[in-house]
Amino acid sequence: ELHYDVKTFNTIYLDSGTTDTLFPTVLSKPFKRAFRKIAGMKSYKDEDLTEEEISGFPSIILQLSGAANVSKKELLLAKNNFSRAQLTRSNDILIEITPTQYLTPTGEGTYEMGFDLTMDDEEGGLLGTNFMSNFDILFDMDASRIGFADSHCNYEKYISILHAAEQ
């Protein structure tokens, strides 16, 4: 468990124009140490990973501070089975980044990490497309908040429906 208070480093950006997710360098050593331990790796590496190496990779859970003015009806825990007791505040949300989201295929049977621990600490972090891919994201400019909802993008299903309609 790593604790990262965004106020310490500035902010977190959402950027659909960036493929990967970037975290501040201050998290590099503790993250790599924890990841190695959980994944059963002798040493941390972020590229040329084999299917055997990634088989035990964990999901990465981000706890995001919720807005104070959220109604119970609006509150959403992203597709997970986490207990409310795990949340710092009742409006916080937990978002799961699965290995299929943060691993990028690089060749036949090899992968690389889709997140970096190299962002300047003063800049904070950046949640890229690999983070955003399983969510519909609402930017509520009037209330100065962002909402997350599960996205059910099954493009193969939609393509098969279109093909059936054409015939």
Query: 3-20: per-residue pLDDT in tens?
Result: 666 566 667 888 989 989
Enclosing H/E stretch for 50: strand 49-50
Report the C-alpha gap between 51 and 49 in whole angstroms.
7
Greater pLDDT, 128 or 134: 128
Give me the architecture of the 9-166 domain, per CATH.
Beta Barrel (2.40)
Name the average pLDDT for the chain.
78
Pairing of strands 60-64, 93-97: antiparallel
Percent of the chain with pLDDT over 70: 75
Query: 116-129: per-residue pLDDT in tens?
Result: 888 887 777 888 98
Query: Under a CB-based contact definition with an 8 Å cutoff, are residues 126 and 12 in contact?
Result: yes
Question: Is the four-CA dihedral 78, 132, 86, 31 of positive or negative sign?
Answer: positive
Instruction: Report which residue type is found at 98.
Output: T
Give pLDDT, residue 80.
Answer: 46
Greater pLDDT, 70 or 132: 132
Query: 41-55: per-residue pLDDT in tens?
Result: 887 877 888 888 888
- Within 8 A by CB and 6+ apart from 144, the residues are none
Question: Is it the case that residue 67 has pLDDT exceeding 60?
Answer: yes
Report the C-alpha gap between 144 and 68 in whole angstroms.
11
Enclosing H/E stretch for 158: helix 155-166
- 99: alpha, beta or left? (left if phi > 0; alpha if psi -120 to 50): alpha
